[in-house]
Structure 1
Amino acid sequence: MRPETRALVLHLGVIAGLAALYPLLPTYHQGNLTRILVLAIYATGYNVLFGYTGLLSLGHAMFFGAGMYGLGLPMQHLGLPALPAFVLGTACAATLAAAVAALALRTAGVAFMIVTLMFSQAAFLTILYFTTWTRGEEGFVLARGARRIAGLDFSTPDVRFWTAFALFATALLLTLWMARSRFGHVLVAIRENEERTRMLGYDVQSHKFRAVVISGAFAGASGAAYGLFFGYVGATFASVQYSIFPLLWVLLGGAGTILGPLVGTAFMFYLINWAQDLTSAYMLVAGVVLVLLTLFARAGIVGEIRKRWLGWLP
């Protein structure tokens, strides 16, 4: 079997496994799986930029927040239906990503990281400034009756999961297709040696710009879905910690791997839950585990599996 076919079969198997796992889980873990899938879309988008293109951003919370507020504000203040609000939220994040990319990509390396962090902080402070509409750190709750699309009520657990599942499966397969495409190969070439890629005649800036926009759109779709599914929109989701989380998820799961974001998100989610049961200093316990994993599995969980046993994994 060709490596491309193996990869497709594996990823379709993972998607089928998630669908089969959900009915077997207790109610609590069913809810957790839904959250993990929504956040894994966010991590998948971040992986496009960091894992495949080699651009380290500390500002992705602004795209997640743009998707969430792009959905939530029109629903709350204008009575916009959920479906067009979801599309609008994703479009807001992609548009913001394009604007940020046009400016931030004039820099490189550490400067790019700092510029994205500054833009993200500006977006966070903007949310706090317009408290009259955004309710600042307190946030606001979306009415249950408004969270419906084509008769589907997103306040019910099963509808939430299967919609999150469909969105994640789409994101996963799109990323797999992109990684195998010419565009994906150029992104990897930029990550490995940007100057050589430019010398070969590729438009490096154009490819990096598109990578930022795609990554921002994924993050925005995740933020919009989170607000729609769980009915809450708040400034916390646009803060610095939500820029650090996707970086940790991708590093833990394996940067530059298709399944790494899902594995890293699930690992981090349950690590923090487990540590909370042990002590109030749960972030200290989680931090120690993360440091050990980073030291002894530098390529991440899926990255180590690829390096040691399954070299054909994308």
Structure 2
Amino acid sequence: MKKFTDSEVRWGIIGVGNVCEVKSAPAMNLIPNSRLVAVMRRDESKVKDYAARHQVPKWYTDANALIADPEVNAIYIATPPNAHLEMTRLAADAGKPVYVEKPMARTHAECLEMIDSCKKAEVPLFVAYYRRALPHFVKIKELIDSGAIGDIRSVHINMKQVLRPEIITHLENNWRVDPEIAGGGYFFDLASHQLDLMDFFFGKITHASGYSANQGKIYPAEDIVAGSFVFESGVLGTGNWCFTASKEAEIEETIIYGSQGMIRFETFGKGEFELWQNGEGPSLHQFELPKHIQQPLIQTIVGELLGEGLSPSDGISGARANWVMQQLVTPRLF
């Protein structure tokens, strides 16, 4: 890997959509030795508006022009997944480190191509699985690793969502349910975070199998997935996801079962979790989450580039989430 020789990370963003309003981009100017210097979006009026509102000095409507900007020395790809592979190749060819949104790509094969491009160019590749750096999930990992709930037996992910009216009325503009753009449906968008978090807690998933279907027939992607998986550590896991459930059935929770207790949390909820230990509980553990939710992870990326530690989310780990999702949705029954 080539050494990052600059003393400051100067970010250029490709695709300044909703995720860049609060979650990610503003944090780049709050981290020491990090600045957002350029943004890109094909729609000129929208990119000019974004740059003006966020005080970004440069804007572009062409990704190649942003990547070629000599002031930009790190690229954040915040586009839908169908552009991740191409943009990663362009950034890597320019010798610039890459930070890419999740899911990492549409398929595991595309993830591997991204890894290969960055490896050949000797530039680091990071993925926006920012939950790995949030305080309550870091604490859960500490509890697991310390044996606080004994030997881990199994984990179960349960997610049921209603089909919101706006999904139907704005279906033509919803890339998240178009497999050609997103790789799949809301399962790929949301379960990718959950499965990556499981990888963070327990290590690599070595076996996975499942089934998927499109029961609602509202959009082309799968809307229900069920499956099981096994970690290299020996922990067993199951998951059940449905995105056309009734209001009464709505739930989002993950439960980790140990020989001496359990931990329950919401992946997409508040910064808190419930802990049961040795027959007692639950005790509620609460943590304050940052306004810009990706800031802790971006800080680790800046630190790694400047030679001060390692980031917990890279291309290798990010690709594993895609591999697991691919196994869980295959075969698709209908």
| TM-score of the aligned structures, taking structure 2 as reference length | 0.25
Name the one with the larger helix percent: 1
Name the one with the larger strand percent: 2
Larger radius of gyration: 2
| TM-score of the aligned structures, taking structure 1 as reference length | 0.26
Q: Which structure is higher in RCO with an 8 Å CA cutoff and minimum separation 6?
A: 1
